[in-house]
Amino acid sequence: MRDWSLHLLDLAENSLRAGAGLVSLGVSLEEDGRLIITLSDDGCGMGPELLRAVTSPFATTRSTRKVGMGLALAGQNAERAGGGLHVSSAPGRGTTVEIEADTRNIDCLPLGDLAQTFFSLICLNPLRPDFEWRLRSPRGEEHFDTREIRQALGEGISLGEPEVREYICSLLTEQCETVFGGIMQ
């Protein structure tokens, strides 16, 4: 993957497949340049055996392809940037993926376009699940939550309606710009 935002799109796909009702993303750039990413869901979770195997490139439960690469690739990129990837999960209790990387490390991937990642997820899944993010940097903090938007829109209007999509896209872009604009691409 070219950047973290693409890894996050890929990892969020796991949450969707796990039947999540809520997918929460936290992206925090610390004073000292460490990037801390947390992606959690309330999906089906994983048992200990799968959990142990899941960060090795030879684990997947899908039948069409023998090798799942998403978590393994993200883990490799985190380690290459002086950090790591950690997954905690239990059946019926959801899953949390934590990624740490040092943005001062020359091998650290760029952050990429987080807004496009969230926008894609919402456009492609306008009815369910809900998506939430919290972005943080020394510049400030922003919070986004599709539950708030659904509530303000009321019954009968999907997040997939073009007017709503346009609003969500510019809100996400604005929040990224406020928190990370000029410090990370």
Partner 1 sequence: MKSLSELEAIRQKTLERIALRKEDRDDGVRIVIGMATCGIAAGARPVMAAFMDEIDRRHLRNVTVTQTGCIGMCRLEPMVDVIAADGSKVTYVKVNPEKARMIVADHIVNGHPVTEYTIGNYADQA
Ligand X SMILES: Nc1ncnc2c1ncn2[C@@H]1O[C@H](COP(=O)(O)OP(=O)(O)O)[C@@H](O)[C@H]1O
Q: Which residues here bind ligand X, judged by CB under 6 A?
A: 14-15, 18, 41, 43-46, 50, 54, 59-62, 68-72, 95
Per rule CB under 5 A, is residue 70 in the interface with Mg ion?
yes
Q: Which of 11, 91, 3 is nearest to 47 (CA)?
A: 91
Site for Mg ion in 9-28 (CB under 5 A): 14
The one-letter amino acid code at 142 reads E
Considering beta carbons, is residue 14 or 24 the nearer one to Mg ion? 14
Considering beta carbons, is residue 83 or 112 the nearer one to partner 1? 112
Considering beta carbons, is residue 13 or 166 the nearer one to ligand X? 13
Minimum distance of partner 1 from residue 86's CB (angstroms) = 19
Q: Is 96 helix (H, G, I), strand (E, B) or coil?
A: strand
Instruction: Output the 3-class SS for 61-87.
Output: CCCCCCCCCHHHHHHHHHHHCCCEEEE
Which residue's CB comes closest to Mg ion? 70
Cα–Cα distance for residue pair 16/173, rounded to 1 Å: 23
